[in-house]
Structure 1
Amino acid sequence: MMSDAYFTTPFGRRPMTLGQLARQNAARAAASEGRVQKWQVFRDITEGKARLGVSDRSLAVLNALLSFHPETLLAAGNELVVFPSNRELSLRAHGMAPATLRRHLAALVEAGLVIRRDSPNGKRYARKGPGGVIETAYGFDLSPLVSRAGEFERIADDVRAHRKAVRLLRERITLLRRDARKLIQFAEQETLPGPWPDLADRLASLSSQLPPTTTKAVLEATANALQHLCNDVHKTLEDNIISQKMSADESQSERHLQTLSSEDSESEDRSIAATVPETPPALHQPTGRHDDVRLEDVLSACPTITDYCSTPITSWSELLKAADLVRTFLGIGRNAWHESCQLLGPRTAAAVIAAVLERHDQIHSPRAYLHALTARARIRTFSVGPMLLALRRAKLAAEQPTSDAATVNEEAAGRAIGTLPPHRPGTLSFPRFHPPIPLGRSDCTDPEEMNRYPVRGHFARPGPGT
């Protein structure tokens, strides 16, 4: 049984304190029906040990004291006094030294987690009555664990919420730092207009390492400052996007202009040439002959190139992109393509690729064919206008029912290239010349060809030498 005295005092020279009186009074006032799970209470105390002012070594001693109580549930009004000897208590506290053990027991009493109920001689023991029932026990009373269980739970919840808030703040700071750093680096690499050096300096001042003991208030201030920095970075990038979008809209409206001055045409050639991937600087200054060719004429004479675009071709830039794609299918290398763009001009080179694609079944080596045309452009004896005109006439004639018009226009398309200059043997492999196909002879084995070409003379498939 518990002592009849309302308050109990410590043995020996240990003084009585006002805190001990208050905690003993709270233990007495605990509801008689209160029941708590001792290990859950111990977990809550462990969570809030910093708020309660106890160390992990003191908690080890408390854990040892709880292990001496036989029941898992602690109920108010029952006998909750444990009376282990210092030797047994030290063993269960992982061999803690006696002096250290006494110091942490005093810390538990001072924190109000246990109450001393000392015997007259200061020893811990229990006096049993009939039947082995404990009548009186002297040792450490665990009643505060029942009376303050709700307080311990609230403290543990607050500590867990604070720890979660700190973790989220640190995650937010890490993400804001990463986003700001990478966006500033991207803007500086792309040379976008904006106060990027100042923003980088602000980021550097907010990038110092935060120790684990940093308070929540400091973390919140750092996170807010980084958020303002990211807002400024995003606003600057949005301004750049809006500016680029307006420039793109203006360039799209300029596509409707059909007549350009010579100065505007040259600037348009340079802008078109800039759309070719990995284009050398020489492409921006075409030195070859400039043909006054219209986009409508190219698409009318060479409609096949539109099959290589997902959307209709409405500008020279789109035609040049399509030509850059088609030349890879025709086996024309990047160097040959760049050379033709430099000598012929971007628009003329794109028109030539479209014409080669239109006649790909008649040209054995498109690469050598383009090289031959480029060689003619060097001596200014090549013009793309007659080539497109011949292809357009051939296309119109093919749509007519007259059968002999096809041969005449095919010959005209071949003559549009003109006579190529001689070359040294071994320097260039020109396209292979196809032998003339005699028409109207009795030894022609294909009657369909005889019916298709009933004209007199020979039909020669066009090539660079026709």
Structure 2
Amino acid sequence: MERLSLTPFGSQPVSAGLLATQALADAKSNVTSVEKWTLFRDLCTARATFSVSDRDLTVLAALLSFLPDDDLEDGRPLIVFPSNKSLSQRAHGMAESTLRRHLAALVRAGLVLRQDSPNGKRYARRDASGTLRQAFGFDLRPLLVAAQSINDAADATRQAETERRVLKEACTLRLRDATKLREYGSDVQPHAANWDHLDDVLRLLQRRLRRKLENADLAEIKDKLAGILDTVRAVFDTAETEKMSGKDAENERHHHNSKTEAIKYEQESAKPVDQQCHTTMPLSLIRKACGDLTVFGGSEIRTYPDIIRNAERVVGMLGIRSDIWGYACAQMGPTDAAITVGFILEKADEIQSPAAYLRALTQKSKYGRFSTGPLVMSLLNRANSMAA
């Protein structure tokens, strides 16, 4: 339709934004047709990018509802001309003064364009056959022109939201592990570290996580929690090393391996294993919690690779197929998968289907909702309650 005027009705001045919106409405569209409600949902997702509020979008939805076609199609009339009363009814009874404010916001955002009549009213002119010849109201063509930008912004927003959710889940799991390890450490090794200071740090991080944070802030918290877990693990491992240091000679006397066997063991330990330790749990706690893994695995657990080798020896005994075990290693990381197998071995009397149980935990790990910390801590708590 031909535009008869570029200037707004009444006392409203011409602005650079108005002229830019006029140019956008006249620009060539990258898409010839788009489903209006799909585009609207994308705009709702990316509304921060276009600086519009949820109330602005309520008014835009009301405007779209007056367009008889489901698609915004280039070359077809895209001007709607409802009265303020009709528009207010479809905007859930919004007051006319509020309605005008949100309509102005949509125009400023370049999403709709006013087509003012000589007297400022909204109406349409038709010929004798009833064909629409001229309409004065709100032109929705800027939406069609901006469709690709809206879609791209929505995709970027969804991706950022997915990343934020993954980061938040990782922070929550690490915070839970660190908190439980601090509680356990303050009970069994009260003088090994400044547990009160660690408690203060964790509470501050927990308070920050209650707010809605940007991805960069969540990544920072995740790194801080990783550092805390490394520190806690080092405290436990150091304490365990000091505890065992006085028994080294005795331990050596109990091992009557030949020189050839010792060399073989050293070579196996030196092999590059595709099992980098991604677990947050200290080795000493894993060894204490998963005692059956040492018994049935056939070798003493001294390093993280030992946990994996022992787990590989017992998965068949538990009825876990190699493909299920391999998938668990791929999703969790070999170390966490081995710890999970150790937990299943400890609970073998209670778990009816170890393979199904491992597969379920692997799926949770795939979506970032799994940590080995609670498994290990539950075994330790059970051992402490039995000892008491």
Q: TM-score range by the shorter chain?
A: 0.5 to 0.7
* Preserved contact between residue 184 and residue 196 of structure 1 (Cα < 8 Å): no
In the alignment, the residues of structure 2 paired with residue 70 and residue 15 of structure 1 have an alpha-carbon distance, to the nearest angstrom, of 32
Equivalent position to 2:42, from 41, 44, 47: 44
Match of 2:161 in 1: 163
| Equivalent residue number for residue 116 of structure 1 | 114
Q: Using the alignment, how far apart are the partners of 1:155 and 1:131 within structure 2?
A: 42
In the TM superposition, residue 216 of structure 1 has moved relative to its aligned partner by: 3.0
**How much has 1:203 moved relative to structure 2?**
3.0
Task: With the length of structure 1 as denominator, give the TM-score of the two structures.
Answer: 0.51
Q: Distance in 1 between matches of 2:209 and 2:135?
A: 52
Corresponding residue of 1:217: 216
Pair 1:228–1:147, CA change in 2 (3 A)? same
Q: Specify the code of the residue in structure 2 equivalent to 1:11.
A: F
Pick closer, same or farther for the CA change 1:65–1:202 going to 2, 3 Å: closer
Identify the residue that residue 102 of structure 1 maps to in structure 2.
100
Q: Is the 8 A contact 1:30 1:76 kept in 2?
A: no
Query: Does the 8 Å contact 1:30/1:146 carry over to 2?
Result: no
Q: Does the CA-based 8 Å contact 1:26-1:144 persist in structure 2?
A: yes
The CA deviation at 1:127 is 0.7
Query: Counterpart in 2 of 1:296?
Result: none
SS in 1 for 2:48: helix
Distance apart, 1:162 and its partner CA: 2.2
Aligned residues: 256
Aligned residue number for residue 393 of structure 1 = none
> 1:161-213, CA deviations, whole angstroms, 9 ceiling, x for partnerless residues?
22222222222221111111111222232227732435445434433343433
TM-score by length of 2: 0.61
Closer, same or farther: CA 85–204 of 1 in aligned 2, 3 Å: closer
Moved more, 143-152 or 237-246: 237-246
Residue by residue over 1:262-314, the C-alpha shift from the partner in whole angstroms, topping out at 9 and shown as x without a partner, is: xxxxxxxxxxxxxxxxxxxxxxxxxxxxxxxxxxxxxxxxxxxxxxxx9xxxx
CA shift digits 1:370-417 (9 cap, x unpaired): xxxxxxxxxxxxxxxxxxxxxxxxxxxxxxxxxxxxxxxxxxxxxxxx
Secondary structure in 2 aligned to 1:132? coil
Partner SS, residue 152 of structure 1 = helix
CA distance in 2, matches of 1:123, 1:201: 64
Partner of 2:228: 229
**CA offset at residue 15 of structure 1?**
1.5
Distance in structure 1 (CA, Å) of the matches to 2:30 and 2:51: 28
Alpha-carbon distance in 2 for matches of 1:58, 1:226: 40
Listed as ranges, the matches of 1:79-90 within 5 Å are 79-90=77-88
Q: Distance in 2 between matches of 1:189 and 1:238?
A: 16
- Equivalent residues of 1:187, 1:196 under 8 A apart: no
Letter in 2 for 1:219: L
Quote the residue 2:2 is aligned against.
2
Deviation at 1:158, TM superposition (A): 2.0
Which amino acid is the alignment partner of residue 47 of structure 2? K
Give the match's secondary structure for 1:139: strand
Larger radius of gyration: 1
Tell me the distance in 2 between the aligned counterparts of 1:255 and 1:94. 82
Q: Quick one: distance in 2 between partners of 1:85 and 1:204?
A: 55
Q: Shift in Å at residue 110 of structure 1?
A: 1.0
Q: Flag the 1:11–1:4 CA change in 2: closer, same or farther, 3 A.
A: closer
Deviations 1:332-354 (A, max 9, x none): xxxxxxxxxxxxxxxxxxxxxxx
Cα displacement (A) at 1:223: 1.9
Structure 2 CA distance, aligned partners of 1:206 and 1:91?
47
Aligned partner letter, 2:219: E
CA separation of 1:170/1:251 partners in 2, compared to 1, >3 Å: closer, same or farther? Answer: same
> CA shift at 1:20, angstroms?
1.6
Per-residue deviation at 1:80? 0.5
The verdict on how the C-alpha distance between 1:239 and 1:171 changes in structure 2, with shifts beyond 3 A counting, is same
Shift of residue 57 of structure 1? 1.5
1:206 aligns with 2:177: no
Aligned to 2:64: 66
Question: For residues 192 and 246 of structure 1, do their structure 2 counterparts lie closer, same or farther at Cα, with a shift above 3 Å needed?
Answer: farther
Contact 2:31–2:144 (CA<8 Å) still a contact in 1?
Answer: no
Q: Identity of counterpart residues, as a percentage?
A: 42
Q: Name the CA distance, whole Å, in 1 between partners of 2:12 and 2:36.
A: 28
AA aligned to 1:9 is T
Q: Indicate the residue corresponding to 2:181 in structure 1.
A: 183
Higher RCO (CA < 8 A, seq sep 6+): 2
| Residue 27 (structure 2) aligned to one of 26, 29, 32 | 29
The letter for the 1-side match of 2:211 is P
- Contact 2:30/2:145, CA 8 A, preserved across alignment: no
